[in-house]
Every structure is written in structure tokens, then in C-alpha cells.
Amino acid sequence: MKSILICGMLVLVMLVMLSAQAQEHHVVLVSIDGFRPDFYLDDEWPAPNLKRLAQEGVNAEGVTGVFPSVTYPSHTTIVTGARPIAHGIYYNTPFEPEGQTGKWYWEAASIQVPTLWDAVRAAGQTSASFLWPVTVGAPIDYNVPEVWSLDKGYDRTQAMRNAATDGFLEELEREVTGRIHSKTFNGDYLNREDRIGEMAAYTLETHKPNLMALHLVATDHFQHEQGRDGHKVHTALAASDRAIGKILEAAERADLLDKLTIIVTGDHGFVNIHSALSPNVWLVEAGLMEDKKDRGEWKAAFHTAGASAFLMLRNPKDQKTLQAVKAKLESLPAAQKKLFRVVEREELDAIGADPNAALALAPVPGVAMSRRSGGPVITPRSGGTHGYYPDFQQIETGFVAWGAGLAASKQLPNMGLEDIAPLISHLLELDHRTPHGTLYPGVLKED
């Protein structure tokens, strides 16, 4: 009996030690919106921290995203290992049958599968997040979510303040940033990147969360404005790299470097554009919707998502209207038909896109989609965009991982956004099963 008791106690001690070891691991997940592999593979880009991590750790030549390749469904795939068809965040903005109000998928309650946040909490570990999409109300211990007010007379940061973990943003203002408001924390400028980097560095050093995620947006903002190679894109990437450097310094000060894994990824690449298509104009011509803000009396409407458009039917079972839409698309002149392809429901299922869409339109690179329902079908457009079907190189995003538990100096030819959650789950020893993600054992450090 005594020996059995001693063995039981030893097993208990070993379990406690294993649990403690798991809770000693820290993963920092950095999303650089509009992140491209050439940012760390090509010499022209100013990212010394990122390039060192890529050379010393694991990197990918490309990461295949989701359809549409836009921010909110992509970020949800990163933290779930699921594609949109499973996790339920289909676009940045939900389709609203009675007319678009401008709201986005802000609330974590919209996610239909377990997230890494859920698994971290269930494991008794802690998490932190800064401006990660779809995190309002998420089970995150230190949370400053991405959300804003639709009231133009309202300070854009107030909604974020209201949704943040009670007292956390005030702590950050007191200890790190000073007062946050629409001038000192603005996505139109690089001050937001610097402040997020400082917030994350302070939180890692002070609170030591097991999983910390941050979302940096300036590279996306300026690629929309100036295209892939605009001069502001270079300075935006440098600001993101600066934020990474601040986090690494904080880990060193806190003696966490040997327990830290940092993963840098993104949501999509970018494509320079010259023109935009307005497919709702075709539906107005066919008498299937009206040229009104709320679509008027409509039977079919295209919901645009960056460079793609998804067909919604007022009555999802209305095959007569669906056939009318297909007939209209088939009747278009060759000069317009060559600018896009029709993605049928079977292909949408295969790539894991919105199950409510009857079909989608995927344009050729250089052409975007517009939600306009009046005027010319083809209009000029400049700058860059994303949202394309993720089957060509420019729309791929990137992946860099460095630190505890990972192999050294290894490159993958390609991976998927859904493959990031299984890696984080493994590193933190979480009980989190992913519907579509794969853990690649080759990226792990050999025992």
C-alpha cells in the first residue's frame, strides 16, 4: 500500500511539473496586415529583426489564404485552424439583407468553432491581444480588441476602450503610452504601430501571458493607398519590424527568451489594381435588384469583399433567379467576361467559403470589385487590394517562426493559414483540435 501511495505521489508531482513546464512557454503571434514573403526574402525591404528571425528559424516561401482573402476571415482562420465555412466569419462585413449598415464582424460570439483563446483559458494559461479582429467579448485576460463606432461624431477609439478588459487600457496609458485617442492611435499614421509594439512589450514583460497576439495594420493601409511598392509601404514595414524588436527586447529583460516562440504571419498579400467591376449593375439591368442604397426590391445581390463578389439570393432556394443571374453573366460581351471567372458552389465548398453564397466572381489580377449598382460597369481604380481567390503568388501571405521548440534555418515551400493554430496548440500543449489545420513535425526542434 505504501509503495502504491508513493508511486501515486510521484505521478502527481510529474503531472504538476509537466503542467508548469507548459505554462512556462510563451508564444507571441504577430500579424502584419498585408504581409508578403518578399518582406523577409528580398534585400530591398527594411526589416532587420524579421529577416534575422527568418534566417535563424522557420520561414515559408508562401502561405495560402482563404477565400475571400480579406482580414477578418483570415485572422479567424489563424486562431481556429478552420476555414470560413466552419468558423462562420465569412467576410470583413456580414451580408445584411435589409441593407449594409457598415458594421463588421467584431464580436467573438460570431465564431462558430473553438479558438486558441478558449483552449488557453481551459488549460489554466493566460492570453493577451491587441487589435486582433473578432475579439470583442473573447475569453482573453488582457484584451484591447479591434472595434470602432459607426457614429462619425464619436471618437474612433472610444468603442475600443469600452470593449477592452476592465482597467487594462488605463494601465497601459498610465505605464506606457499616455492618453490614447484618435490622434495618438490612428491607423492612418505609424503612431499606432509604435504604440501597439510598446503595449505588447510591456504586457509580455509585466504579465507574461502564455499567448499574446497583435495586429499591425499600416502595411495594409499604405498598400491600398500606394500599391505594393509605395514608399510608405517601406516605412510601414519598418514600423512593424520596430514593434517586433521591442517585444524581443522585453523578452530579454524578463528572462523569457529561452521560453519564447515568436510567430509572424499575415492575412493576405497584395495586388496592384487599375480597374474595378460593378457586377450589381448587371443585376439591376436584369431586374433582379434596384439601384438603391438598400437594394430596393431585390431577388439577387452581389456582396463584395475586396477583389471578389459573392452572390446572395433573397430566397436561397430560388433557382429561377439563380439561373437568371447565370444567363446574364453568360450573355455579357467577351470584353467583360474575360475580366473574371465564376466560382460555382462546389468549388466554394472545396475552398471553405461562405456556405450562403450561391456562387462567386473571382476577377483577374489588376481588377477589383465595386459594390456600386449604378453607372459604368468598369471604372478606373488605383493603388492595391486583396480579396482574390488565393491561387496565385502575389496574394499569398508570409510566415516566420523563431524560438523555443522550433527547428533552425528551415524553409517550407508553402503552407496554409489554417496550419498556424495547430503549431501554437502544440507549443503550448493545448487541447485544441482544428478542423482543417495540419501540424508539420518538420518545423519542430528535434529532441
What single-letter amino acid sits at 27? Answer: V
pLDDT digits (tens, 9 = 90+) for 277-329: 999 999 999 999 999 999 999 999 999 999 999 999 999 999 999 999 999 99
Burial of 230 (0-12, 13-18, 19+ CB in 10 A): middle
Position 72 pLDDT exceeds 80 = yes
C-beta of residue 160 within 8 angstroms of C-beta of residue 146: yes
C-beta of residue 176 within 8 angstroms of C-beta of residue 389: no
C-alpha distance from residue 259 to each of 38, 211, 325, 352, 378 (Å):
28, 12, 56, 35, 54
Mean per-residue pLDDT, 18-29: 72
**Ordered DSSP codes for 9-47:** HHHHHHHHHHHHHHHH-EEEEEEETT--THHHHSTTS--
What pLDDT, on a 0 to 100 scale, did the predictor assign at position 3? 52
- Grid cell in block for residue 163: 470593449
Confidence label for 12 from pLDDT (cuts 50, 70 and 90): very low
Angstrom distance (rounded) from CA 128 to CA 337:
47
What pLDDT, on a 0 to 100 scale, did the predictor assign at position 171? 98
Domains and CATH numbers, the chain: 24-270+391-443 (3.40.720.10), 275-381 (3.30.1360)
- Grid cell in block for residue 322: 439563380
pLDDT above 90: percentage of residues in the chain: 91
What pLDDT, on a 0 to 100 scale, did the predictor assign at position 443? 97
Confidence label for 16 from pLDDT (cuts 50, 70 and 90): very low
Least confident range from 11-25, 102-116, 157-171, 279-293: namely 11-25
Confidence label for 135 from pLDDT (cuts 50, 70 and 90): very high
pLDDT digits (tens, 9 = 90+) for 320-357: 999 999 999 999 999 999 999 999 999 999 999 999 99
C-beta of residue 39 within 8 angstroms of C-beta of residue 47: yes
Position 367 pLDDT exceeds 60 = yes
Residue identified by cell 503571434 is 29
Confidence label for 155 from pLDDT (cuts 50, 70 and 90): confident
Long-range contacts of 228-231 (CB under 8 A, 24+ apart): 228/36, 228/270, 228/271, 228/272, 228/384, 228/394
Mean per-residue pLDDT, 208-226: 98
pLDDT digits (tens, 9 = 90+) for 156-200: 899 999 999 999 999 999 999 999 998 999 988 899 999 999 999
Q: Which residues contact 361 (CB under 8 A, 6 or more apart)?
A: 277, 279, 302, 308, 309, 310, 311, 340, 341, 342, 343, 369
What pLDDT, on a 0 to 100 scale, did the predictor assign at position 21? 46
**What is the residue-averaged pLDDT of the chain?**
94
C-beta of residue 316 within 8 angstroms of C-beta of residue 332: no
C-beta of residue 295 within 8 angstroms of C-beta of residue 99: yes
Mean per-residue pLDDT, 85-113: 97
What pLDDT, on a 0 to 100 scale, did the predictor assign at position 11? 39
**Ordered DSSP codes for 414-425:** -EEGGGHHHHHH
C-beta of residue 376 within 8 angstroms of C-beta of residue 282: no
Helix (H) or strand (E) holding 362: strand 359-363
Position 33 pLDDT exceeds 50 = yes
- Torsions phi, psi of 332, nearest 5? -65, 150
Angstrom distance (rounded) from CA 64 to CA 71:
14
- Grid cell in block for residue 432: 485544441
What pLDDT, on a 0 to 100 scale, did the predictor assign at position 394? 98
Angstrom distance (rounded) from CA 346 to CA 304:
20
